[in-house]
Amino acid sequence: MTYLDYAATSPLLPEVIDAMSAAERRYFANASALHTPGHLAMNEIEHTRGLLAEMINAEPEEIIFTSGASESNNTVIRTFEGHKIITSPLEHHSIIEAAVIYGGEEEPALYSYMLANNEIGEIMPVKEQVKKAHKEGAFAHSDLTQVLGKLPIDVKELDLDYATFSAHKIGGPIGVGALYVRKGVPFKPLIIGGNQEKKRRGGTYNTVGIIGFGAALEHLKKVNSWSLYDTKVRELRDKLAERILTEIPGSSLNTELERDKSLPNILNASFEAAEGESIQLYLDAEGVIVSTGSACAAGDAKPSHVLMAKTGDAEVAHSSIRFSFNPDNTEADIEKVMEVLPGIVNRLQQISTVTMRSK
């Protein structure tokens, strides 16, 4: 299988599987309990908290564990319920939909701008937005789900008040995430009814999941992930982009490849007169796994809101495919894609021409 859907989710790293399966046996106790097995489990949770804090230049007590990025995003938006919420049109649905439901007119406002988008990889001027927010007396959040491990993150340098993370985009388990909450900023728990996380997030600790998140963070450090993405992954991504443009008529890129414009691991391309979902299914039949726009919106017949916001063109949005890489990908994966993709696109374009002619 040629897996090019790492931005949707990534397989558990071998060391994560090892850490989690050992933890299932060793750290089963309730981490909030006052007995020794509880303390030992809590020590492991604090280890992961320390690792994440160090990696993003935060204090450990500024990290709250959650069930994932969607919960982290919802928590920040709910904190500002009734307040003005200003977001970019490229945000994940867990920001956009929550902002529509909970946003109001009260001040101070919340600005929520992701540093990099999950569908096209676009890097946004978050620092400018943060400056603007603070000048207005507002607060600033950034969804950094796609950024962790790909670009270095310094929440102090970005001057963020809140930031969102998820374990499963870096080889950790699905269902574990984190929220950075700067000391002293407003906060309202989303899940109440427990003293966990200093009363900021109720619910029995997902010790094994958090240990898995920690093992994935250790891996990022060990392999110097940022540099791998900047070199090996970027080269592969750019090579595929170049080959698509030169070998497939009617193709265009929705990702700007320049270093500061996009994440190094995401390539979004459109194929004139060929439907994205059909391309995805034919590629799947050939063992090549990609996605159309955002997997979270899969099955949604509406074109991707991100591509609509960027291009305003429903046809471009409907004919788009996202290829997303990780350091395990090789030249052979590019070869495999280019062995099958031109034929698939060509076939679909032929059908589309026939359909158009017969109308």
Q: Which residues participate in catalysis according to the annotation?
A: 296
Which stretch, 35-43, 142-150, 236-244, 318-326, contacts ligand PMP (CB under 6 A)?
A: 142-150
**Smallest gap, in angstroms, from Cβ of residue 66 to ligand PMP?**
8
Give the residue, chosen from 143, 161, 197, 333, that forms a contact with ligand PMP under the rule CB under 6 A: 143
Q: How many residues bind ligand PMP (CB under 6 A)?
A: 13
| Closer residue to ligand PMP (CB): 13 or 248 | 13
- What is the x/- site pattern for ligand PMP, positions 64-83, by CB under 6 A? ----xxx-------------
Cβ–Cβ < 8 Å for 186, 100? no
Beta strand segments in 15-105, E: 63-66, 83-87
Give the residue, chosen from 10, 75, 88, 166, that forms a contact with ligand PMP under the rule CB under 6 A: 166
- What is the x/- site pattern for ligand PMP, positions 103-122, by CB under 6 A? -----------x---x----
Which SS3 state, helix, strand or coil, does residue 95 take? helix
CA atoms of 243 and 241, how far apart (whole Å) = 6
How distant, in Å, are the alpha carbons of 29, 82, 88, 91, 131 from that of 106? 43, 6, 19, 22, 20
Residues 233-272 that bind ligand PMP (CB under 6 A): none
Cβ–Cβ < 8 Å for 76, 164? yes
The CA-based angle 59-182-260, given to 5 degrees, is 90
Q: What's the number of CA atoms in the CB half-sphere (13 Å) around residue 345?
A: 23
Cβ–Cβ < 8 Å for 325, 233? yes
User: With DSSP H G I counted as helix, E B as strand and the rest as coil, what are the percentages for the chain, rounded to 5?
Assistant: 50, 15, 35
Give the residue, chosen from 92, 219, 305, 336, that forms a contact with ligand PMP under the rule CB under 6 A: 92
306 binding ligand PMP? (CB under 6 A): no
324 binding ligand PMP? (CB under 6 A): no
Nearest residue to the partner ligand PMP, using Cβ: 68
| Closer residue to ligand PMP (CB): 92 or 336 | 92
303 binding ligand PMP? (CB under 6 A): no
Which SS3 state, helix, strand or coil, does residue 169 take? helix
Contacts with ligand PMP by CB under 6 A lie at 68-70, 92, 94, 114, 118, 143, 145-146, 166, 177, 296
